[in-house]
Chain A
């Protein structure tokens, strides 16, 4: 029997599809490098069906790609080797909410924005947020340990996770950490599954900690002529505020966003870089912001700046940052998502800048990122006349050099997007051989037959 028939026999009929559009659409994420080549798409409604699917994979030796909103940028959810895609999208119920625990129990297919709205309705907040939140799913967020624009205050997805229900690659069901805040009973497997990119198990449910509702935001966009000074600006705002976001982007990125979305440029005089800063609106916040701005101007770090006067304007200013990733998609960019300690950013940047200029003389490079977290997104845009393969080969070579640079500065080759297929062969720039060997051991423990996401994260 072939795989789709096996699945159709073991699972409710409408859970399995092999229609061409589905194989295509469920077979890729936001990377456009690998072609979709899935054999079937399974969309279970219940954890039992997830378990059955993984058990079948073990019995019959086929590979399974766990799949969320497929907004991933590293190819983690790509099925290009005849795998079965296991989409959690129908498991999208918010199961339970407890105001005393300030936590919520959700199925893995709940869309990130759906949870954000739900928390807001309850007078609380789910603070993991980024431009793909309208499509990405909680299971995908946990599996990639998603970061985003509020990490500086609230941490990564990992910091939200209080409990998980998973089906391991072996087909076992585990209830991890019981939603507890305190539970010192030995090895905490929950954290192994956070960021495991679907290689150890399928996340089916999660208990997530919610945060108190934030104050209204006050948003500033400042023009910063030299990149290194963005960090000076960060330091001086940090002294005065508990920041809720500190983002940065280059002028060429801003101009592309404004053109694509018909937005007005925020400043009348452009600067090479911009800092977008969000703080809590409260009495005196605007005065403090003006004082911090004045100081930065006096130091020669900042050339100009605007400040939101209403929630609508705060949202308008955020668009300049939030629309970047999707706007650049038109140029099929090669994305480097790197991090170093914030304090090492200037030294790292000086060298990275020189490397980019030397290695990509023909390519436009757009920088942006969660600077407050030491996280830079370095987007290399494909020149129109270059073929996709040539471009990719060139970029891969430069990634090796970037990897060497990151080793010297103690940084990471993937800050928040994960490793997937895109960064797999560069893992050794961040993780030691001993660590990678232990990762393999762990994979063998939870997924002895290697049925879950083979070839992703580790070769």
Chain B
């Protein structure tokens, strides 16, 4: 069984981002970039299934600038077998990414896609769902547990009221939530090995991504938090809360 795992290069989760002065976006100058954390979880899940003998090959895919190769190599070091890098400086939106991935799934003849549930830069939470639709495959999103057995995947997903368990026929698209696993640390010897793992570069022009795009009108900081007020007693606190209509 072959798994395809999409990987996105994003601003590191722990960076305090700054909005550009002219409001055209986020300032990425000199900012630490990392693998989207949900993608690390997705790859970890695929690798666990490989170690369990369920999956035979894990192919990691990234769509992004030349520098995104760093993130692809990281995930190869984690243990993926092969990488595909669709090289572009263009900003790729979810529907475009889904189209590219759908094409790669066909070329690779993959049996399952395990993706992160969303990328933490734009927080779209759309690509896996769109991909499933384009492929006409079943989807199981926000997975907190994945079991694969006899052509079916049993996926536990987190919902507001608790947990829901889905059974989907393979091939399918599964998207990973935070509690699915804790990704392992990358071992230094594996970084060396990853340098020699096959990594194909593919031109963006090979894909049909001519779809309507969303336009970002402006980016701004969230409103500043209003300063707090110290109260002297519980009575005063209750009165203040009542005043604001909060209790």
Contact = CB atoms under 8 A, between A and B. Distances in A.
B15 A311 contact: yes
A306 B34 contact: no
Interface string B183-205: 01111110110000000000000
Contacts of A267: 187
B14 A315 contact: yes
Contact of A311 (B12, B182, B185, B189): B12
Interface in A308-339: 308-313, 315-317
B62 interface: no
A266 B13 contact: no
A286 interface: yes
A293 interface: yes
Nearest to A216: B32
A308 B32 CA distance: 13
B14 A312 contact: yes
B6 interface: no
Interface string B26-40: 000000101101001
Given A266-B185, A317-B185, A310 B35 contact: yes
B32 A264 contact: no
A304 interface: yes
A311 B13 contact: yes
B74 interface: yes
Interface in B2-52: 12-15, 32, 34-35, 37, 40
Given A264-B182, A310-B34, A310-B37, A293 B13 contact: no
Interface in A277-294: 281, 286, 289-290, 293-294
Given A281-B32, A294-B192, A306 B12 contact: no
Contacts of B182: 264
A309 B36 CA distance: 11
Say what secondary structure dominates the interface of chain B.
mixed
Contact of B13 (A221, A289, A306, A312): A312
Nearest to B187: A306
A366 to B, nearest CB: 22
A305 interface: yes
Interface residues on chain B, size class: 10 to 19
A220 interface: yes
Interface in B154-188: 182, 184-188
Given A216-B32, A264-B182, A312-B37, A307 B188 contact: yes
A317 B34 CA distance: 16
B207 to A, nearest CB: 28
B186 A310 contact: no
A25 B187 CA distance: 45
A447 B44 CA distance: 63
A310 B191 contact: no
Contact of A313 (B15, B185, B187, B189): B185
A305 B187 contact: yes
Contact of B189 (A220, A281, A304, A315): A304
Given A281-B32, A294-B192, A310 B187 contact: no
A35 B117 CA distance: 54
B65 to A, nearest CB: 15
A311 B14 contact: yes
B74 A309 contact: yes
A309 B188 contact: no
Interface centre among B14, B15, B182 (most CB of A within 10 A): B14
Given A216-B32, A290-B192, A309 B186 contact: yes
A441 B189 CA distance: 59
A103 B12 CA distance: 29
A222 B185 CA distance: 12
Nearest to B36: A310
A27 B134 CA distance: 69
B7 to A, nearest CB: 12
Contact of A310 (B14, B184, B188): B14
B50 to A, nearest CB: 16
A293 B188 CA distance: 7
Given A306-B185, A306-B186, A306-B188, 19 more contacts: A220-B188, A264-B184, A267-B187, A286-B191, A293-B188, A305-B187, A305-B189, A307-B187, A307-B191, A309-B40, A310-B12, A310-B32, A310-B37, A311-B14, A311-B15, A312-B12, A312-B14, A313-B185, A315-B14
Interface of B: 12-15, 32, 34-35, 37, 40, 74, 182, 184-189, 191-192
15 contacts: A220-B188, A222-B188, A264-B184, A264-B185, A290-B192, A294-B192, A305-B188, A306-B185, A307-B188, A308-B185, A309-B74, A310-B37, A311-B15, A312-B13, A316-B185
Which are the 5 A-B pairs with shortest beta-carbon distances?
A311-B14, A306-B185, A310-B34, A305-B188, A216-B32
